[in-house]
Amino acid sequence: MNQLEALRQYTVVVADTGDFRQLAAYAPQDATTNPSLILKAVQKPDYAPLLQDTVTRYPGLPMDEIVDRLLVRFGREILALIPGRVSTEVDARLSFDAAATVARAKRILALYRAEGVDTRRVLIKIAATWEGIQAAAELEREGIHTNLTLLFSFAQAVACGQAGVRLISPFVGRIYDWYKKNAGAAWDEAANADANDPGVRSVRRIFEHYKRFGIRTEIMGASFRNVGQITALAGCDLLTIAPELLAQLAASQAPVSRHLDAAMAKSLDLAPVQYDESGFRYALNEDAMATEKLAEGIRAFAADAVKLEQLIQNI
């Protein structure tokens, strides 16, 4: 049994890619996309016809609607290759506008519905700002399921659980990046590997809190830098993994064991935590890593959205 097969004993494996032609090799249950992955995919020769076709089919539409139609086109292609769900992201430039996020999410779902897609197989990805979390709460009340992304802090996870979102995506690798960069020459890679990785520790804390208090929101570790981060989270509800790391897992026979256990977490002596808006904002502010990485992530996704629009304009 290779590591990928072993991992599936404990965790649902999700593919983190816009390059849907790679999916068949790894047979993931679900798939996730984001603006950066879609931008990367459409610049490959294999996907140029898909971009061209989507743009030419809808002349005269506003740019934001053309982009949404492109995202839905990718999502539909992905859903044809997997048994589960696909996550499609709302424009990161709406991350601080709850009403606009709700409206954009509903339009994305309507576009999927018009393509004959069962919208129960679609998760709407939203940045885990306070406004994004409130938008997700409203969408969930209406039966539209969400994936809260760019999640770096315990406070964000707690607020998402309170909001009843379907799934969160804590970003393991980007947390690791921040701590490694800030440590500089003092960073000890071996001492901060596997279970001691700061990103892994963050997900473990969220997992234990959710399971201890019966929070039904699914936890999907994301943004991995190495296989050790992935195997250290065996037992997490889901893990979304880039094709390059899926290939490494499939090529390795090293053992994989469960590290996160919901049954054990239920017996932990943990204090309940809740946040109102002011408490959330203060807790996030106190977490320099999460504050910086959330802002950086929104800027990066927004910049890639602009680049995607420029590609479309040039067709």
Q: Tens digit of pLDDT per residue, the chain (315 long)? A: 999 999 999 999 999 999 999 898 899 999 998 889 999 999 999 998 999 999 999 999 999 999 999 999 999 999 999 999 999 999 999 999 999 999 999 999 999 999 999 999 999 999 999 999 999 999 999 999 999 999 999 999 999 999 999 999 999 999 999 999 999 999 999 999 999 999 999 999 999 999 999 999 999 999 999 999 999 999 999 999 999 999 999 999 999 999 999 999 999 999 999 999 999 999 999 999 999 999 999 999 999 999 999 999 998
> Residues, the chain, total?
315
Instruction: State the pLDDT at residue 144.
Output: 98
Instruction: Output the CA–CA distances (angstroms, integers) from residue 297 to 9, 33, 179, 301, in the order listed.
Output: 32, 14, 16, 6
Residue 5 DSSP symbol: H
Contacts of 12 (CB under 8 A, 6+ apart): 29, 30, 84, 237, 238, 239
Q: Which of 40, 44, 106, 125 is catalytic?
A: 125
Give the bridge partners for 148, in sequence order: 126, 168
Q: How many CB atoms lie within 10 A of CB 176?
A: 22
User: Could you tell me the domains of the chain?
Assistant: 3-313 (3.20.20.70)
pLDDT value of residue 61: 95
> ∠204-240-77 over CA atoms, to 5°?
160
pLDDT at 206: 98
> Would you state the pLDDT for residue 35?
83
Identify whether 125 is a catalytic site residue: yes
Separation CA 44–CA 253 (nearest Å): 32
Report the C-alpha gap between 277 and 131 in whole angstroms: 10
Record the pTM: 0.96
**Contacts by 61-69, CB closer than 8 A, 24 or more apart:** 63/309, 63/312, 63/313, 64/91, 64/104, 65/107, 66/312, 67/91, 67/305, 67/308, 67/309, 67/312, 68/104, 68/107, 68/108, 68/111, 69/111
- Residue 183 tokens read as 């440590």
Q: Are 108 and 68 in contact (CB under 8 A)?
A: yes
Instruction: Give the span between the Cα atoms of 63 and 281, in whole angstroms.
Output: 33
- Whole-angstrom Cα distance, residue 88 to residue 55? 18
- CA–chain centroid gap for 116, Å, is 24
